[in-house]
Structure 1
Amino acid sequence: MEASVRAILFYVFLVFVVRIVGRRPGKQITPFEFVLVFFMGGLALTAMVGDDASLTNAFIQILTVALAHFCIAMARTKSRWLARLLDGTPLILLENGQWRSETLSKMRIQDDDVMAQARDQGIATLDKIEIAILERNGQISIIEGTK
């Protein structure tokens, strides 16, 4: 019974902390924010099932991580360099019918992945794509050409 109460308590607490720290739609979550979510979840899990059963200690750890995230997020808004370091930058995968092979290889993306995204947007052939971009959040954006 105590484990169930702890689980509910931490769930409510984490939802509260994440709401305070900030929110974005799921497709806009950056790697920086994924780390926050998983790390805070790990701290809560450790407090629920680990040797240290102190709720106070777990709350302090989670609040500390949330505060650190908030401070870094604020610094990110003031520094483009820090934002690029933490979130990355959009990368061009295809431009004017030319694949950027080095970028595709480095990001471990196949040209078929780009074409699948294009087909999802109703673009059937390569010659109708003006540019394909790997966004900071991992999504592939396809911009149709005007030809």
Structure 2
Amino acid sequence: MTMSITELEQALRALRLSGMSATMQARALQVAQHQMDFLEAFSWLVQDELDRRRSRLLDRRFTLSGLRERKDLKDFDWTYNARLPKREVLALGTLQFLDAKEDLLMIGPPGTGKSHCAKALALLAVQRGYTVLYREAHQLIEDLAEAR
């Protein structure tokens, strides 16, 4: 039994293989133009599905984390606050403290870059598969008071 492209796309969506469905026509065209053989195209289709699932999982984790923006340590202006220990902050980016099951508390006066660094570390943790819940101090205190 041969299925049309439309029927194949519907079947892939019914099987919840949206990554494959999204790239199937392009992969089929590559096979038709002899740019790759069937097994190579099928391997790419499977990889497309894995990439889509990983991307959606990261998006869900980011949404659930409470982060509102994607901050990165590469974007941090280290010249703004020369007293900020750059080497130590970048070392935190390895997330070894999480692997060691240690906590991290950033304290200091307002406007020193704590929130940017914390958000960047939280984003790194999300990207590495950790479950993250980001809260600023005043939010955390309100959440704890409400839970009590």
Does the TM-score normalized on the shorter chain lie above 0.5?
no
Length-normalised TM-score, structure 2: 0.32
Whose strand proportion is higher, 1 or 2? 1
Q: Which of structures 1 and 2 has the larger relative contact order (alpha carbons within 8 angstroms, sep 6+)?
A: 2
Length-normalised TM-score, structure 1: 0.32
Q: Pick the structure with greater CA Rg.
A: 2
